[in-house]
Amino acid sequence: MNLVLFGPPGAGKGTQSKLLTAQRGLPQLSTGDMLRAAIEAGTPLGVACKALMAKGELVPDETVIRIIGQRYDQPDCKDGAVFDGFPRTIAQAEALDTMLAERGRQIDLVLELKVDDAVLLSRVETRIKAGGVLRSDDTPETLAHRLEIYYRNTAPLIGYYRQQGKLKTVDGMAPVEAVTAQIAAILNAVPG
Ligand code: ADP
């Protein structure tokens, strides 16, 4: 099964992807994690993306399409994957559909985690108050910018996937376990 976890920054996509990986053995393909790993390792890709990511801008479509394609061809994706934070633009969604079609596959389901802006902002503020290691893009100002970009570039994917009949919406403001339960109920209803 190939799933897309979709939603605004801080909606809980990473948390739910990790649970899906643990429960269903589908690898989590997070472009954000891959890019942060490249920055950490100081690769040319990381160097090229660092400033854009810190500002909350998107990195170029070709970049993420390439790294997702390479990652998806690893043997652990033979039964599918959970796409987390990808696609983020219509061009990325079209490239993903093409890549999967070339391999005789398709996106089976898109799970949209719906969370109000005010809740997203309060989640960032809670993380800041809690201290610890924060991402460079985890500030209220950068979040506001990431949200603008989300509504402009990424939210149109809701229509794209709804038209394909693949979109399922989940209340992302419920407690983590309740979100997990909603996702499990949706997946259990998928035939096969
Ligand atoms: P979040 O979901 O909290 O915004 P991510 O880890 O998914 O966090 O992404 C962090 C940053 O990485 C984004 O703001 C963007 O700069 C970059 N990024 C991740 N995925 C993509 C993508 N598919 N297309 C373009 N940029 C991306």
Q: Which residues pair with 23 in a beta bridge?
A: none
Q: Which residues pair with 114 in a beta bridge?
A: 171
* pLDDT in the model for residue 191: 78
* pLDDT in the model for residue 170: 97
Determine whether the shortest distance from the Cβ of 53 to ligand 1 is under 6 A: yes
* pLDDT in the model for residue 68: 98
Residue 71 domain boundaries: 2-189
Return the CATH number at 37.
3.40.50.300
185 three-state secondary structure: helix
Q: How large is the average pLDDT for residues 92-111?
A: 98
Give the confidence band of 192 by pLDDT, cuts at 50, 70, 90.
low
pLDDT digit string, tens, across residues 146-191: 999 999 999 999 999 999 999 999 999 999 999 999 999 999 998 7
Token pair 């990511």 in the structure block, residue: 53
pLDDT digit string, tens, across residues 41-94: 999 999 999 999 999 999 999 999 999 999 999 999 999 999 999 999 999 999
| Pocket perturbation via mutation, ligand 1, pick of 13, 17, 28, 53 by most ligand atoms within 8 A of CB | 53
d(CA 24, CA 56): 31
Total number of residues shown for the chain: 192
Domain count, the chain: 1
d(CA 146, CA 127): 17
pLDDT digit string, tens, across residues 12-49: 999 999 999 999 999 999 999 999 999 999 999 999 99
Query: What's the Rg (C-alpha) of the chain?
Result: 16
Q: What is the DSSP letter of 133?
A: -
* Atom number, ligand 1, closest to the C-alpha of residue 146: 14
Residue 33: both structure tokens together: 């994690």
d(CA 158, CA 85): 14
Burial bucket for residue 161 (CB in 10 Å: 0-12, 13-18, 19+): buried
Determine whether the shortest distance from the Cβ of 12 to ligand 1 is under 6 A: no
Interhelix angle for 61-72 vs 90-102, to 10°? 30
Q: What is the DSSP letter of 77?
A: G
pLDDT digit string, tens, across residues 105-142: 999 999 999 999 999 999 989 888 888 778 888 888 99
